[in-house]
Amino acid sequence: MHKNLIITFTRNPELGKVKSRLAKDIGEASALEVYKLLLEHTKNVLLQLDCDKAVYYSVKIRENDIWDSEIFSKHQQSGNDLGERMQNAFKNGFEKGYKNIIIVGSDLYDLDAEIINTAFKKLESHDNVIGPAVDGGYYLLGMKTLHPSVFKINNWGTQTVYKQTISKLNTNSMYVLDTLNDIDYVEDLEPYNVFKPYLKND
């Protein structure tokens, strides 16, 4: 077992079940294709990392999908909201004996292995690492010990999630990564050639 664990949360890629805000602009079929590309990108980034890897499914665990069960341990998300589900995933990892745990979302085309490796390196000298998102949330959170208060956020999906989170952490021992943009709205697709085919409505 490696001392470092990377976790990603995914939604099962099903029509009408993913990227609802994006689907309003480009249609459900295109939104699903965009999400599949994002999952593929996330998987390829995580495969470059020298650490243990876990994927947590929103609805049910899939055996034969893009996440190779020889490489990724597969889990079901559990909890009443996103915070509780993340807290349980971290708790599970620490109980297994991991020293440094990082969670990343699966809807970030700007995510790369260098960012995550930097985060693990910074955890050697900091208690926490966080990657702010342009929309006021965060795309990455890393810890050496579980801080349950961090996951008690008033309203997930609002522009204050990042601010609420860092207010609960010891900012003297926190490293802040570059701010990146996750993919939620049609304008988020525009900088990337890979998404150009989906910018026209279904």
Strand (E) or helix (H) holding 52: strand 52-57
**CB 81 within 8 Å of CB 88:** no
Residue 9 has pLDDT above 60, yes or no: yes
* Token pair of 4 as six digits: 């470092």
pLDDT tens readout for residues 147-188: 999 999 877 777 889 999 988 886 668 999 999 998 988 999
At 149, give phi and psi (nearest 5°): -60, -25
CA nearest neighbour of 107 among 51, 47, 36: 36
Q: Please count the other Cβ atoms lying within 10 Å of the Cβ belonging to residue 79.
A: 13
Domains in the chain, CATH or no CATH each = 4-192 (3.90.550.10)
Q: What percent of the chain has pLDDT over 90?
A: 72
pLDDT tens readout for residues 69-103: 999 999 999 999 999 999 999 999 999 999 999 99
How high does pLDDT run on average in the chain? 92
Q: What one-character-per-residue DSSP string does 118-184 give? A: HHHHHTTT-SEEEEEBTTSSEEEEEESS--GGGG--S-TTSTTHHHHHHHTS-GGGEEE---B----
Question: pTM for this structure?
Answer: 0.94
In the chain, the N- to C-terminal Cα span, in Å, equals: 46
